[in-house]
Amino acid sequence: QSVLTQPPSASGTPGQRVTISCSGSSSNIATNIVNWYQQLPGTAPKLLIFNNDRRPSGVPDRFSGSSSGTSASLAISGLQSEDEADYFCATWDDSLNGLMFGGGTTLTVL
Amino acid sequence: QVHLQESGPGLVKPSETLSLICSVSGGSMSNYYWTWIRQPPGKGLEWIGHVYSSGRTNYKESLKSRLTISVDTSKQQFSLKLSSVTAADTAIYYCARGLYYDSSGTFDHWGRETLVTVSS
């Protein structure tokens, strides 16, 4: 069981806005940056958001991240079918002295 | 463009040592955190540990006693050795390039998935 809690699933219709949460604690999200990874079926994860709210070059601005207190979230606006994937949050945990990933959220575009 | 490629056996016997190499091309290994991450089939991601280009390492606490990660910048490679494996170590193993600082968890390049199965 991960110290970072994500909903196992999320869904939306094309064009909708979807938010995925990542809940942590004072030893991780509250004091360290959060990154988000997108994993399309059968492929390696891809960096989607880094340093809480920054997008790497090439990531559409439909994807945005935020972090406040012990929680972080990933928002996807203008949902598209190619956004169907697993999404993972990641941050360092000072108590466990290691990088932690959330359990992952499977996004379905209906 | 930076490219990472894992190599190593896809099948390891219980109690033996799992060994993987990640070859890096298209860029220097200097000033990055070369990282191993694994994912049991159908499950989530698990950080295993990393080696900085200087050779300094940081390992997941629960794996420390069995784990060695090392780097050879002259060969543009870094490696993973995990001893005394059990079925619980069966996973897809990824190598990745980490940015910025030790605990940033920011991986901008990943190798392709390598499935390692522990079975007799």
Q: Where are the beta strands (DSSP E) in chain B?
A: 3-7, 11-12, 18-25, 33-39, 46-52, 57-59, 67-72, 77-82, 91-98, 107-110, 114-118
Residue type, B4: L
- Contact present, A89 and A99 (Cβ < 8 Å): no
pLDDT of B102 reads 84
Residues from chain B that touch A20, judged by Cβ atoms under 8 A, are none
pLDDT > 90? residue A47: yes
pLDDT of B47 reads 98
pLDDT of A70 reads 98
The Cα of A48 is separated from the nearest Cα of chain B by a number of Å equal to 9
The helix or strand, by DSSP H or E, that contains position B112, with its residue range, turns out to be none
- Contact present, A107 and A75 (Cβ < 8 Å): no
pLDDT > 90? residue A60: yes
A35 touches chain B (CB under 8 A): yes
CB within 8 Å: A44 and B94: yes
Bridge partners for B110 per DSSP? B96
Mean pLDDT for A93-104 is 97
The number of residues making up chain B comes to 120
Tell me the C-alpha distance between A107 and A104, whole Å: 10
- What percentage of chain A exceeds 70 in pLDDT? 100
DSSP string, A19-36: EEEEE--TTTTTTS--EE
Question: 3-state DSSP call for residue B45?
Answer: coil
